[in-house]
Amino acid sequence: MSRQLIVDVHTHVYPPSYMALLRARKTVPYIHDPAEGADPRLIILSSDDDPATPPDERGRPVDASYSDINVKLDFMKKHDIDCSVISLANPWLDFVPKDEAQEWAERINNDLESTCADVNSEKDKSLFAFGALPLSAPSSIVVAEIKRLRTLPHIRGVIMGTSGLGKGLDDPDLDAIWGALEETQLLLFLHPHYGLPSEAFGGPEVIARYGHVLPLALGFPLETTIAVTRMLLSGVFDRFERLQVLLAHSGGTLPFLAGRIESCVLHERKFVANGGDTPGPKRGVWDVLKTNIFLDAVVYGSAGLQAAVAAGSHDRLMFGTDHPFFPPLHDEDEKWPSVTTNYKAIDSCFGEKDSESIGMVLGGNANRILKLGFD
Ligand code: URA
Ligand code: ZN
């Protein structure tokens, strides 16, 4: 039997043009170059930019793995990954001034497309991409970019954060964008960046005490959960029944909390958004989870993965790595624990008797859902 196809749907890049954009800035997000030739520092989370920390130590080191596609290809080889669907990493183009957003989106998306085309001309179908959206521009420009992305041969969807046009994902002004995504059937990869306000964790001193653990382990997944719940409560999935969304990190905490969300909706008398005495969303969470939502398998444990399978389905779950984030801390030649943990979680979630489901999660689902064209 030939080896199972492995597709990574959650893997990021900062193309060189985006690195230059970050280097030119002095406020979050920015790249700082230490004087002594050490790796540049990437300061992208607001909690990274603590004035009490010297700039040379702020944020995290950003090496070639963020921008050099050959480093990603080596990483794929090391971990037996056949194909990666690359996406710009957070915070995408959210911070770009409104009158520059369209140009940056076109430039970065063209960079992504040509990277995929160049690599695929040498290696068979190794790379596809999710495009980035110029969300600070008027929505007509965003819609135009979505339609243009549909014509680029290696683009399979778009990546987006949770702020939308600045007011969150229940903003009615997003309807034109949801409509364009539905019409083009480009998958929306919803990914966190902003986390939770620092007060949720006890303030900036508490966060700093534990490095990135609180914002990344808890802030990110809750941010995703809140964003998608706001979409659901405001009826986005009632109005756009064919919208397809891939949620990062196995849906944050959505699979675990879906029942509670559904129950609270059923017990709520005041949907002020809908006129005060009218019912909330017509479609329930479980239905949306099985119809509109896909989950990645980036959850690092079989308990979380089992919740994702139970809430969604084994044929809606797709392997991912979150490369180049979470590299090994000590031995850079070893396989990345952040990747092997996800492989192990998939194996133990389904067990060796269910190799068919394992195969689907590792690559079969991505191949079908994203129309990658593997036999
Ligand atoms: N940290 C980030 O800032 N982004 C990711 O995607 C993962 C970790
Ligand atoms: Zn990610």
Pocket test for ligand 1, best of 42, 193, 246, 338 (most atoms within 8 A of CB): 193
End-to-end CA distance of the chain: 14
Q: Which ligand is nearest to the CA of 44?
A: 1
In what helix (H) or strand (E) does residue 183 lie, and over which residues does it extend? helix 175-184
Beta bridge partners of 56: none
**Rounded to a whole number, what is the largest CA-CA distance in the chain?**
64
234 lines ligand 1 (CB under 6 A): no
CA distances (Å), origin 316, targets 87, 313, 363: 19, 5, 11
pLDDT at 2: 59
Distance 193 CA to ligand 1 centre (A): 7
223 lines ligand 1 (CB under 6 A): no
pLDDT at 232: 97
What CATH number is associated with residue 301? 3.20.20.140
41-43 sheet: strands from edge to edge:
30-32, 41-43, 60-61
90 lines ligand 1 (CB under 6 A): yes
- Which amino acid is residue 49, in one-letter code? D
Q: Which residues of the chain have pLDDT under 50?
A: 1
Strands of 52-194 (E only): list them.
Answer: 60-61, 83-88, 127-132, 155-160, 187-190
Q: Is 365 contained in some domain?
A: yes
Query: Total domain count for the chain?
Result: 1
28 lines ligand 1 (CB under 6 A): no
Indicate whether this complex's ipTM tops 0.90: yes
Q: Is 100 contained in some domain?
A: yes
Ligand 1 atom closest to the Cα of residue 191 is: 6
pTM of the complete model: 0.96
Distance 90 CA to ligand 2 centre (A): 8
Q: Is 201 contained in some domain?
A: yes
For residues 123 and 81, the answer to whether their CB atoms sit within 8 Å is no
pLDDT at 39: 86
Q: Is 42 contained in some domain?
A: yes
User: Domain of 271?
Assistant: 7-369
pLDDT at 1: 43
pLDDT at 365: 98
Strands of 25-152 (E only): list them.
Answer: 30-32, 41-43, 60-61, 83-88, 127-132
Q: Is 138 contained in some domain?
A: yes
Ligand 1 atom closest to the Cα of residue 89 is: 6
Q: Please, what's the b/e burial string for 58-89 (b: 16 or more CB within 10 A of its CB; e: otherwise)?
A: bbbebeebbbebebbbebbeebebbbbbbbbb
Q: Is 1 contained in some domain?
A: no
Q: Is 186 contained in some domain?
A: yes
In what helix (H) or strand (E) does residue 13 lie, and over which residues does it extend? strand 7-13
Distance 263 CA to ligand 2 centre (A): 30
Q: Is 2 contained in some domain?
A: no
